[in-house]
Each structure stands twice: as C-alpha cells, then as structure tokens.
C-alpha cells in the first residue's frame, strides 16, 4: 500500500460508531485526500510506503471539527443590543422595538457579496484555527429573493477562499421582513413560490431552515415552508422550542428533519418524536449563555429517548456572538451537563449526521475525507478543560496540511 501522506504514532479518536475510544500508537494514512488506513501502527499492511511520513509524537488526533449551525454571513454588529441586554432589556423587547434580527437584515441588504465574504472570512479563520474543517452557514438576513441568494453565494464563496467544506441552509423563514409586516401570508407565499425554487435551481441551498417561534413563524407557516422544501427535494432543519415551547421539535420530526436546533423548551413527546425520526438535537449553549436563558435543553430526555446530540456555535451577531467551537464544547459540558465524549461526538460524528454528511465526514474511517485535527494534547478532556486556550497543533483538510 502506498500513501500520499501518513501520520504515525498518535492517539487516534476515530469517533466511529461503536469504535474504540482511542487507538494507542495509531496511524492515519491518506490517498488522494481520503482516508486509506486508520488503526494501530502495528496493523499497517506489510511493506507500506508513503510519499511523506509525519510523526505524531503521541499527540491526540480527532476528526476535523464540524460547526453544524452558524449564521456566519452578515454585515455590521449588534454590540449596542448587547449593552441594552446588560442593562436589563430582553432579546424579545429589543426585537419588538425594531432591533434584533431586522437590524442585521438592514445592514446585510446594504452590503455587497464581496463585503459579506470578507466579514465571514474573519470569523471563519477563528473557527478554522481551532480545527474546524466543515461548517454550516445559513442565509436569513436578506429576506428578499436577491438578498437571500446573495447570502448563499457568499457562503459558497467561503470554500473557494479557504480549505473548508461549507454546507448551506436557506433561512428565508428567519423573521418577517419589516416591509412585509402587514403581509405575512404574502411573504410566506414568496418563500414558497419564489425563494426556495430559485435557491434550489441554482444549487445554492443544501437544506431549508426556519425559525418556528412566537414573533417569527407559526407552526402552520413552518409546515408550508417545509412542504415546499420537500417538493424541491431539499432536507429541512428547524430553530425549534428556543424561547417558547411551540411543538417545534415534533414538527421537525414530522418532516424527517436532519436536525432540530436550540430545544431549550422541548418536552418528552418532542424528544421521542425526534428519536423516532432520527432528527439530531443541535445544542447551542452560546445562545443560552448570551441570552442568560434559565431553561436548559432536556439532555436527560434526549439520552433516554436515544436522540443524538450535536453541539455548535450558532455564531451570529445577536444571540450568540461566539467564534469558538472549543468554547461551545466547554459550555455544553459545564452548562448543559454533556460528558466530554458527548461534546466531542457533538462536534464530529453527530454534527456530520446533523448535516446529512455522515457518509463522508465526522469520523476517521476508511473512505471518508481525510480531515483531521491534531492536538497538542493526549486526551479529549484537554480540548474542553481550558477556556480560551487553543491546543490545536495542525489541521488537515482532504489529506493536506491546511
């Protein structure tokens, strides 16, 4: 066997389903950007050769991390709203007074695609510096056909500019645009009749997302958006049960959603429906933290029902100004009670599942993309233990040091 590149002598956390927790004195070999071998050095096929052999010196190797829920593309910031919340105003009162999502919409509409790309790259670089090799990016700050497509094009441009995999979600159903406030039905009809078909035709959306919430979209409106997604063969995901219990988790499950996200107010029935549908729970502790939420997602219920849990940054300028996946992992264990193993699986295996990409990424298994994070650490707990310390040693994207 001849490898283009092989890493030897590390502690390998494969994250394969039912795999060993760690392979000691392990190796990962790449051929044409894919994993061609993963296992103990002693089990390498006799007579193997490699164009390049890299010594890991006992370092921990994990799959490249996956941030499966972000709003990375936007213009401006909402630091003023952060200060208002520190003075006691809430996310909801600020939104009702014309701030919140719509204030980012105004600035995002005014920005051209190149400006959006530059802003997102600055945030992407921070995520990549912590070993992120794949990222989901949503639209949702355009809320017109042209502005939503502009956002999705900006998201697609990121993977041209950086060695990273981008998965996009069309989130035209993020909030009712201010100019359509008296015409909700008209805006929903536009999403269904115009925005989803155009994004699908141009191949700009890998999935359709919606914000099912008081003050955003009702379950009936969300259902209509999901039916349109289905008609265009696009999978769905949902911002569900974040601020109010609206049956969002069950609604997502009814449509076989890849994921339901936030879920602070999901009940047992919602958890069971998600488990039956294979819908992944994406936990977003950055938003819980920044909004000083008191209600935690029902992690025990998810475990009991057998719901897979992912963890993501929810990077956005309002509810989760967070560009650190390691911090999201720390918050998931400290605030939500996930175990270290669950937090690591949440940014690898389960995040891949939440993106519908488990066949291609999220674990170190032969045939998958050779995306690795190599850490100056020997145990997964060391990735999560410190806040603000980045132990990344090297990041490998499709078999290349990147």
| Positions in the binding site for ligand NIG (CB under 6 A) | 71, 100-101, 104, 211, 239, 242, 287, 314, 316-320
H or E segment at 134?
strand 132-138
How far is residue 93's CA from residue 234's CA, in Å, rounded to a whole number?
34
- Would you say 119 or 318 has its CB closer to ligand NIG? 318
- Would you say 147 or 314 has its CB closer to Fe ion? 314
Partner whose binding site includes residue 123, from Fe ion, ligand NIG, none (CB under 5 to 8 Å by kind): none
| Closest to 205 (Cα-Cα) out of 284, 281, 139 | 139
Least distance to ligand NIG, CB of residue 75, Å: 12
Sequence-ordered alpha helix ranges (H) in 232-348: 248-254, 268-277, 285-290, 299-305, 325-334, 340-346
- Select the span of 263-271, 297-305, 306-314, 379-387 touching Fe ion (CB under 5 A): 306-314
Which residues in 139-236 belong to E strands, given as ranges? 165-173, 207-210
- Would you say 221 or 314 has its CB closer to ligand NIG? 314
Residues 6+ apart with CB under 8 A from 240: 212, 246, 248, 249, 251, 252, 260, 261, 262, 263, 266, 270
- Select the span of 7-15, 121-129, 314-322, 392-400 touching Fe ion (CB under 5 A): 314-322
Residues 6+ apart with CB under 8 A from 8: 26, 27, 41, 53, 54, 55, 56
Q: Note the residue count of the chain.
A: 402
Least distance to ligand NIG, CB of residue 128, Å: 21
Least distance to ligand NIG, CB of residue 213, Å: 7
- Would you say 59 or 239 has its CB closer to Fe ion? 239
Partner whose binding site includes residue 242, from ligand NIG, Fe ion, none (CB under 5 to 8 Å by kind): ligand NIG
SS3 212: strand
42, 9 Cβ separation under 8 angstroms: no
Least distance to Fe ion, CB of residue 24, Å: 39
71, 20 Cβ separation under 8 angstroms: no
Name 65's bridge partners.
132
How far is residue 15's CA from residue 348's CA, in Å, rounded to a whole number?
7
- Select the span of 41-49, 172-180, 312-320, 368-376 touching Fe ion (CB under 5 A): 312-320
Least distance to ligand NIG, CB of residue 33, Å: 32
Least distance to ligand NIG, CB of residue 234, Å: 19
- The Cβ-side half-sphere exposure at 371, using a 13 Å CA radius, reads 24
314 is a contact residue toward Fe ion (CB under 5 A): yes
- Binding mask 186-205 toward Fe ion (x if CB under 5 A, else -) reads --------------------
Q: Specify the pairing of strand 5-12 against strand 53-55.
A: parallel
Partner whose binding site includes residue 101, from ligand NIG, Fe ion, none (CB under 5 to 8 Å by kind): ligand NIG
Partner whose binding site includes residue 247, from Fe ion, ligand NIG, none (CB under 5 to 8 Å by kind): none
How far is residue 147's CA from residue 330's CA, in Å, rounded to a whole number?
35
- Would you say 283 or 372 has its CB closer to ligand NIG? 283
Partner whose binding site includes residue 103, from Fe ion, ligand NIG, none (CB under 5 to 8 Å by kind): none
Residues 6+ apart with CB under 8 A from 104: 74, 75, 76, 78, 141, 316, 317, 318
- Would you say 3 or 226 has its CB closer to ligand NIG? 226
Partner whose binding site includes residue 318, from ligand NIG, Fe ion, none (CB under 5 to 8 Å by kind): ligand NIG
- Would you say 316 or 371 has its CB closer to ligand NIG? 316
Partner whose binding site includes residue 104, from ligand NIG, Fe ion, none (CB under 5 to 8 Å by kind): ligand NIG
């Amino acid at each position: 066997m001849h490898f283009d590149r092989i890493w030897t002598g590390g502690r390998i956390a494969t994250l394969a389903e039912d795999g060993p927790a760690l392979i000691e004195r392990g190796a990962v070999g790449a051929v044409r950007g894919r994993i061609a071998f993963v296992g103990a050095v002693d089990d390498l096929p006799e007579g193997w050769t490699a164009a390049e052999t890299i010594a890991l010196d006992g370092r921990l190797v994990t799959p490249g991390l996956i941030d499966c829920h972000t709003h990375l593309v936007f213009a401006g910031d909402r630091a003023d709203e952060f200060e208002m919340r520190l003075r006691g105003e809430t996310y909801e009162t600020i939104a009702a007074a014309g701030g919140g999502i719509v204030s980012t919409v105004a600035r995002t509409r005014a920005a051209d695609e190149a400006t959006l790309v530059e802003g997102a790259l600055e945030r992407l670089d921070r995520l990549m510096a912590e070993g992120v090799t794949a990222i989901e990016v949503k639209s949702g700050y355009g809320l017109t056909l042209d502005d939503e497509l502009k956002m999705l094009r900006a998201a697609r441009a990121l993977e041209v500019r950086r060695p990273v995999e981008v998965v996009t979600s069309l989130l035209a159903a993020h909030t009712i645009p201010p100019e359509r406030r008296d015409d909700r039905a008209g805006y929903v009809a536009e999403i269904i009749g115009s925005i989803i078909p155009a994004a699908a035709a141009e191949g700009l959306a890998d999935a359709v997302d919606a914000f099912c919430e008081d003050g955003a979209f009702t379950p009936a409106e969300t259902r209509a958006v999901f039916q349109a997604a289905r008609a265009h063969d696009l999978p769905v995901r949902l911002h569900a049960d974040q601020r109010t219990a609206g049956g969002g988790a069950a609604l997502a499950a009814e449509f076989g959603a890849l994921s339901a996200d936030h879920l602070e107010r999901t009940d047992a029935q919602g958890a069971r429906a998600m488990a039956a549908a294979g819908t992944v729970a994406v936990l977003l502790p950055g938003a819980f933290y920044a909004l000083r939420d008191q209600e935690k997602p029902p992690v025990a219920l998810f475990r009991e029902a057998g719901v897979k849990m992912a963890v993501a940054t929810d990077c956005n300028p309002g509810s989760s100004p967070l560009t650190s996946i390691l911090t999201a992992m720390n918050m998931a264990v400290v605030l939500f009670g996930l175990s270290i193993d669950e937090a690591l699986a949440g940014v690898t295996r389960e995040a891949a599942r939440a993106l519908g990409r488990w066949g291609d990424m999220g674990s170190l298994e032969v045939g998958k993309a050779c995306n690795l994070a190599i850490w100056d650490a020997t145990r997964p707990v060391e990735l999560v233990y410190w806040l603000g310390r980045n132990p990344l040693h090297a990041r490998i994207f499709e078999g290349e040091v990147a």
